[in-house]
Chains A and B, each alone.
Chain A
Amino acid sequence: MTIIHRDPHAPHCPPIDKKRELIHVDCASHTYPDGSVGIHDMCFYVLRDEIVALCGPNGSGKSTLLEHLNGLLTPSKGDVWVNGRSITHGERSDLWKDVGVVFQRSDDQLFAPTVLDDVMFGPLNLGMSHDDAQAAAMSALEGVGAADLVHKLPNYLSGGQKRLVSIAGVLAMKPKIMVLDEPTSDLDPLHSERVEALILRFKRDYGISVVIATHDLDFAARIADRVCLVKNGSVFAEGTPDEVFYNPVLIEEAGLTLPQTVRIYLEYCKAQGREPEQRPIRRDELIRALQLSQS
């Protein structure tokens, strides 16, 4: 695990694997017009074929960071590199082709009269013909299991259906990176599981790298290859889920609570008076670890 204690005078973040790099947020800061600091000396990166979870409490700067990745915001200091291009000094008008954003509130994203119109919006902006855009929209809707909603009006969809359509709207553009802001917030368990399965499939079947902002560590634990903890506008620690989540001090410092699987395992070990030798993260891993400890 990397615990980042950066030299405040260092102009750049530590070097990363350039061959696999898709996004590199290099020491970026953003201050809003009202003076509030969104992100501050932020170091963050995304590699090819990985799911990164940005975990932090409300107001820690996760959403501000996500909006930088798509060029909706530009850093007031530092730089953001997407697919080898600087968004501060270079052209960023077509950044949306590489980085698709699924917003936290689906109602903010769905604006068109029908689901089909909304999902076609991105492909049409990519310059596809009407027929190709329609085919891309249908394929994306089928991909998220929402093809039956194609002619529905967004305001008559349930929260879960709206989320699936929002994801389809971005998937239809076939981005290299997909950024999802709190993708399971306000969803029932069934829809949460569907969204979770979809995110895993994006990486496996479509080769899309995924960035998720969440304060739900159970969700992050199940899904992420790498976890970044965010506090006061900066990533202060990162590592694999087991490295990060089996560090209660770090989690407390981030203002979060341990994932349930981790808590159960740690409490079990404490009750048994033994050291936590395994580091189960997912439910199946926990069951295996408990079975092992009993045998």
Chain B
Amino acid sequence: MVSINVKNVGLVYRLRQKISLARKTPAVQHTGGRVSAAGGRKTVIALEDLSFSLEAGDRLGLVGSNGAGKTTLLKVLYGIYEPTMGKVEMKGRVDALFNISLGFRKEATGRRNIVLRGLINGWSLDQINDRMDAIIEFSELGDFIDLPFKTYSQGMAARLAFSVATSLEPEILLMDEWIGAGDARFQEKAKRRMEEIAEKAGIIVLASHNHGLLKRTCNKILELDKGRLKAFLPVESWEETG
């Protein structure tokens, strides 16, 4: 049974002054949260004392202003950031849809890029081969699939990235904004694909500023404010307050 259990999670990191011969500037771009300076040390409190749990069937919408910690929380759930306090327990395979065009190589063919992206996603060669035809078909690239990625138009590249990224059967799906690609007709198809994935996934966590989308897709809402949990409530209650 898939589940997410977040207990008293905090993420605090030091703004390291990089050892440098240049004039001192903070080494890190702020990912959100609050900056505090104590004892000459600058730290970022990106997340503070977050606790919530989700079970199979839950669709959580993450809301909050820019810098509230939505992406940071997604990255903590995915395992890119290790929380400095508390505990995250994820039961189920976690897939994330952020930065879907990461790792595409312009000199390699579309087909080769599917293999590379699949490997990066942790798929086996058999899984990649099984999914290959469906990915190519969905991307509508036709014969272009055997040409170098650099010959693709922006729309074609986006269609390929979308097709590979969404060719999965996630148990837990993390998304930073709902993704789409291509022209109006493909957008429609992409929307249906996203809805299918969302239906299949055991749990979804979706960060978005699109309240209409969140109301349509989610059953729970978690609101963050400067890294703190401001509200965690059913979507109906959120609609009433919002």
Whether A associates with B in a native complex is: no
